[in-house]
Amino acid sequence: MAESENQTGSGQGERAPFEFVGDSRRMLRRLRDVMAQGGTDQERLDQIVQIVAADMKTEVCSIYVRRADNMLELCATEGLNPEAIHRTRLRVGEGLVGDIAARARPHALSDAQSHPKFAYRPETGEEIYQSLMGVPVLRSERLLGVIAVQNRTRRRYADEEIETLETFAMALADLLSSSRIFGGEDGEGSRSAPTRLTGLSIVPGISFGTVHLHRQPLVIRRAVAEDPEIERARLEAALSILHERLDRLMEDTPLAQTGEHTEVLQAYRMFAQDRGWLSRMRDAIDNGLTAEAAVQHGLNDTRARMGRITDPYLRERLHDFEALSDELMGDLADAASPVDAAAARRAGPPDNAVLVARNMGPADLLAYDRENLRGVLLEEGSATAHVAIVARALDIPVIGKVEGILSEAETGDPVIIDGDNAQVFLRPADEVREQFERSVEARVAARARFADLRDTPCVTLDGTPVSLLMNAGLLVDMPQVAATGADGVGLFRTEIPFMARREFPDVEAQTTLYKAIIDGAEGRPVTFRALDVGGDKNLQSFATEAELNPAMGWRSMRILLDRPSILRQQIRALIRASADRELRLMFPMVTDIAEFDRAKAIVNREIERADARGQNPPSSISLGAMIEVPALLWQLDNLLPRVDFVSIGSNDLFQFIFAVDRDSDRITRRYDTLAPAFLRVLRTIARSCDDAGVPVTVCGEMAGRPLEALALLGLGYRRLSMSAASIGPIKEAIMSTNYHEITDFADNLLKNNGNHSRGALAGYARDHGISV
């Protein structure tokens, strides 16, 4: 769907939708005739805008072409002032036309001049036109321009009209991609300079490699169909090849047989059967497009529809449709060959390949030789993307949301991936590469030191033991417990495996998963966090309404107590999986003691149920609460006698203490986790737990950063849970520290009420030879 005012009803002065008489097939035939004629590109564009204006009953049709300098130039118009042609230019993002280009999304506005993006250009004479509809002209995901129509009245454009203009724009892309209208400029600009890009770390790691574009541009050489029946047959044959390949992948790939990866690939195969996606492609062929153009049209339409969805998990599923469309385009391109099209296109990545794509599906990644891969860079993508789960299993660094990587990178470019810090160095200068190589050498040496410490107990210089635990969320994480020498799993996020599933897992499926997790810990304790959904963690199988402030809305414990069957099933599965072994379970986002009491009562009922059925019970059961909501700080005296342990979720506690959205780039750096106010809160919790004899663990991101871990040690914390990669550095820092000295230092620091805690702690570490 376009961003539109059409759905808001008719306002004053608006006219009902025109009776749409434009026939997309007739328009495409006329476009084909124009392109087959002789003449200059300018003459062809002039005829095209006349065709569209006449067939769609608009007073204006204009074509803007993207120049090499990323400006959009008015190159043809029917209805606007002809003198504006080649004079009017807009930056990408400027005005409504620029906004269409920047977002690669249509606009359909009945009152365009009231839109905040409207930019008036007096030389065009467009002040008399009220409504506007425009769509991007794209080829292989590269913006070529924008085609827009306008009317004097407040016309409400119908969805069919938007789809028709999109279809026409795909055919127009053939002309613009080969146009010499700017004297041979290709619109690409220079892409040889060294470039640093940043993104979101999805799978950490560092590597050097060579860019390989995952989606080598597949040019749609013919958009208008000669015979729709032939095109329909080509599409169906390609779909059959695609479905057969996915079936073979499920049967023949070892990774598809166990753990979360099975769910990921099953969901991916299910998307390939999506009726809406299939019907949109078939309808596009009926409207006059070739099979290739129909696949692109179906993808564009899916992008527009899913682009309006706010649920992060569902938005990620758009990436699966993009990956499927890519595979389907490849099959169509090589349909005459018996060689598997997707495999043929991916047979030649260079050694040390770094894959670059807008998005990737899990099957795409598995099609490559793991020994050749050094990393993945995605222009979109997130930690909930299906490809992230597979990449984590393969231990391949991945950075997502690398804005501009597709327009900047070319196959063969040298690239450095710093997945730990979410940065990309494209075509790095020699001095950058040399510096990075030295940094990598230092990291390798540090990892060797950490490996030597793996089996050494974590004890301070003065003999105080500190327990280092690992955070996990997938079955594939569990081998890292032994590999890092962690004392166990301090936080297992049970919601993450659920996010890979289309359906909510039943008790049997959960039991199998939890048993495998406990087995994977090899006798070390595992603390499970009850399902923590809502906020920014939504499941496809459990829909929640959008909220203005989801972090403080219906989430976590509130959902579990309002939907107790979910909690009962999870507890039932955990009891079964923990038969004759320890069960440790903590409840997230407890706000009131009564919430913990209700959850504990559910656990007791499930234990009684298991006993009545003759099931072997866990050897012991420990129940805990997560301290994340500030209200619980004033209930500690009543809470601590009720629990076996507590864990501090420092991420949420910090954002609630400071009333800060931790996802906001504008304000997250304004407040510091080492601020005295926050340190005092943490010290209060630590002392209360010590007085009550209740073990306390910090399991947020704070515990995994050496300087912050040093501060936590000074506040009295002796149990920290962190990512696998952080255990080595934290252990080295703690083993270089005197516990009593750092606690005295922290006390004095807070007594002096200084506002420079971070600098003071860094100075202490430097003076005492502690690596932070």
Just list the catalytic residues. 386, 699
Longest CA span, the chain: 90
Q: Are 22 and 287 in contact (CB under 8 A)?
A: no
R_g (Cα) of the chain, nearest Å:
30
User: Contact, 745 vs 711, CB < 8 A?
Assistant: no
* Cα torsion angle, 261, 266, 270, 272, sign: positive
The SS3 of residue 598 is helix
- Among the listed residues 363, 380, 410, 397, the one whose alpha carbon sits nearest the alpha carbon of residue 213: 410
Task: Note every long-range contact of 659-668, with CB atoms under 8 Å and residues 24 or more positions apart, other chains counting.
Answer: 661/551, 663/536
CA atoms within 13 A on the CB side of 355: 27
Query: For residue 212, which of 342, 316, 368 has the smallest C-alpha distance?
Result: 368
Is the separation of the CB atoms in 27 and 58 below 8 Å? no
Rounded distance, CA 496 to CA 480, Å? 17
Q: Is 423 helix (H, G, I), strand (E, B) or coil?
A: strand
Residue found by looking up tokens 């509130």 in the block: 558
The string of DSSP letters for 52-75 reads HHHHTT-SEEEEEEE-TTSEEEEE
Q: Helix (H, G, I), strand (E, B), or coil: what is residue 315?
A: helix
Q: Is-contact 381 400, C-beta < 8 A?
A: yes
Nearest Cα to 412, choosing from 397, 427, 434? 427
Q: Which of 43, 440, 21, 531 is nearest to 205 (CA)?
A: 440
What residues form DSSP beta bridges with 212?
A: 355
Long-range contacts: 182-188, Cβ < 8 Å, 24+?
182/65, 182/67, 182/68, 182/73, 185/67, 185/68, 186/68, 187/66, 187/67, 187/68, 187/142, 187/144, 188/68
Instruction: Name the nearest CA neighbour of 584 among 719, 410, 688.
Output: 719
> In three state form, how does the secondary structure of 621-641 look?
EEEEEEECCHHHHHHHHHHHH
Secondary structure, 3-state, 85-112: CCCCEEECCCHHHHHHHHHCCCEEECCH
Report the C-alpha dihedral over residues 36, 42, 43, 45, rounded to 10 degrees: 70
For residues 270 and 288, is the Cβ–Cβ distance under 8 A?
A: no
Query: For 529-616, where are the alpha helices, taking DSSP H only?
Result: 557-562, 564-577, 593-612
CA distance 582 to 518: 9
CB 573 within 8 A of CB 507: yes
The torsion region of residue 227 among left (phi > 0), alpha (psi -120 to 50) and beta comes to: beta
Q: Which helix (H) or strand (E) holds 355?
A: strand 353-357
- Using CA atoms, how far apart are residues 427 and 408, in angstroms rounded to an integer? 10
3-class DSSP state of 245 = helix
| The pair of three-digit structure tokens given for residue 429, joined into one six-digit string | 């200068």
Distance CA 73, CA 64 (A): 5
